[in-house]
């Protein structure tokens, strides 16, 4: 199947046409809506196509894409559209056909992801208007965590909070972690259902997930993507009384929200969210950059240790996303000196910064891998598998 995956944020629109049978990207596109004027840049068969937008919006990007698509003499095949939604709540895990009724469901989930759902819903409306003859599906980042055990997803808060307000751990970056497990299986020539994997997604957002035999059993993010590791601008785990303390000190709820999500993490520690800049500053003995790296890597290291215990050991530790894939220094800081735990990095292999590859020494009992994050491929793969299952059920009845 050929599936167009749409990943829409508040300032960017990412589009990828995936051949799910071969897990390959046929068309790659992106528009930065903060640029003036904005341009949708497409990569197809070695060609670069630039479509200038009339309006800086996801709706205009999708309109331009549809018009360009229709003018191609060798029209690209397209079977369905997949829309990335950050939050499916506790109920929605499988791909959800987008209809008038399910749009109301998606809108009702906005309170769980107020920053992410509105632009995604706008993109869905635009895509349906411009690709009206094709089926559309919502795919949820939280879906990979559907099998979290009760002890991992439950917070020790009042019962009313849990039952009436849905307060629990949901987990995010699911498509990235799911792909990391599948990529690890391919590199190790084993089946995902045969592996215990600790996957470490390090990009602007950051999270760690423990997966046993192809299913997530724990993850660092929580009810929201702010929990867990310190990130580019998000705080990660902190004492839950700190926001109340700051409120009593005179900050408003909006000011606290902004501080925790946009002015904390690496930004809060050293004034920069760019890992390359921070590493360079640390090499120059900048104390705030050194502290930022120490806090960042120590937090990852603690989660790795916790998940080694939760899994009863591991077959692979996988680094993925921009920092995880491209930063040998971070991998060394996180896993260096753990030989007694069976984790031994190879300096030469670890120095590689691109492509799926092993970075562990032959003496390491646990494989350490660096893989490219392919969330859109994973979404297309999952939707294709789901649709094949639906078709098989219909034929059997």
Catalytic residue numbers, as ranges: 141
Number of H helices, E strands in the chain: 15, 14
**Beta pairing class for 80-85 and 2-8:** parallel
Of 166, 165, 178, the C-alpha closest to 139 is: 178
Q: Alpha helix (H) ranges present in 206-286?
A: 242-248, 253-262, 265-270, 275-283
What the block records as the tokens of 366 is 């646990």
Category of 214 on φ-ψ map: left (φ > 0), alpha (ψ -120 to 50) or beta: left
* Type and span of the H or E element at 226: none
Q: Say if CB 6 and CB 13 are below 8 A apart.
A: yes
**Edge-to-edge, what's the strand order for the sheet holding 357-358?**
215-219, 206-212, 196-202, 316-320, 367-371, 357-358
**Beta pairing class for 2-8 and 215-219:** unpaired
Give the side-chain half-sphere CA count within 13 A for 123: 31
Of 389, 393, 390, 387, the C-alpha closest to 136 is: 387
Q: Say if CB 233 and CB 262 are below 8 A apart.
A: yes
Burial 10-38 (b: 16+ CB within 10 A, else e): eebbbbbbbbbeebebbbebbbebeeeeb
Q: Say if CB 182 and CB 104 are below 8 A apart.
A: no
Q: How many residues does the chain have?
A: 397
Q: Say if CB 377 and CB 179 are below 8 A apart.
A: yes
Tell me how far the alpha carbon of residue 49 is from its chain's centroid. Answer: 27
């Amino acid at each position: 199947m050929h599936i167009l995956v749409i990943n829409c944020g508040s300032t960017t629109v990412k589009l990828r046409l995936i051949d799910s049978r071969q897990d390959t990207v046929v068309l790659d596109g992106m528009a930065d809506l903060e640029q003036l004027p904005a341009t949708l840049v497409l990569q197809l068969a070695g060609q670069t196509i630039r479509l200038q937008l009339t309006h800086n919006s996801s709706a205009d990007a999708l309109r331009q894409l549809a018009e360009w698509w229709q003018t191609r003499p060798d029209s690209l095949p397209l079977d369905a559209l997949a829309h990335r939604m950050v939050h499916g709540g506790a109920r929605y895990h499988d791909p959800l056909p987008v209809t008038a009724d399910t749009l109301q469901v998606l809108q009702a989930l906005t309170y769980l992801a107020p920053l992410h759902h509105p632009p995604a819903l706008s993109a869905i409306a635009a895509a349906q208007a411009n690709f009206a003859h094709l089926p559309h599906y919502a795919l949820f980042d939280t879906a990979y965590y559907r099998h979290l055990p009760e002890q991992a997803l439950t917070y020790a808060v009042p019962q009313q909070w849990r039952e009436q307000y849905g307060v629990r751990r949901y987990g995010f970056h699911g498509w990235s972690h799911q792909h990391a497990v599948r990529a690890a299986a391919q590199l190790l020539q084993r089946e995902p259902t045969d592996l215990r994997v600790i996957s470490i997604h390090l990009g602007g957002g950051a999270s760690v997930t423990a997966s046993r035999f192809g299913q997530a059993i724990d993850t660092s993010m929580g009810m929201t993507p702010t929990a867990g590791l310190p990130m580019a601008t998000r705080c990660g785990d902190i004492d839950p009384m700190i926001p109340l303390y700051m409120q009593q000190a005179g900050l408003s709820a909006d000011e606290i929200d902004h501080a925790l999500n946009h002015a904390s993490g690496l930004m809060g520690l050293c004034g920069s969210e760019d890992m390359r800049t921070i590493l360079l500053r640390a090499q120059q003995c900048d104390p705030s950059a050194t502290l930022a790296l120490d806090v960042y890597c120590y937090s990852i290291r603690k989660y790795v240790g916790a998940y080694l215990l939760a899994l009863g050991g591991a077959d692979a530790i996988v680094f993925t996303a921009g920092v995880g894939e491209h930063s040998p220094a971070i991998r060394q800081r996180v896993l260096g000196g753990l030989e007694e735990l069976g984790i031994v990095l190879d300096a030469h292999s670890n120095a590689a910064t691109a492509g799926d590859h092993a970075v562990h020494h032959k003496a390491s009992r646990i494989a350490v891998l660096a893989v490219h994050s392919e969330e859109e491929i994973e979404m297309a793969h999952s939707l294709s598998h789901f649709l094949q299952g639906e078709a098989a059920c219909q034929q059997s009845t």
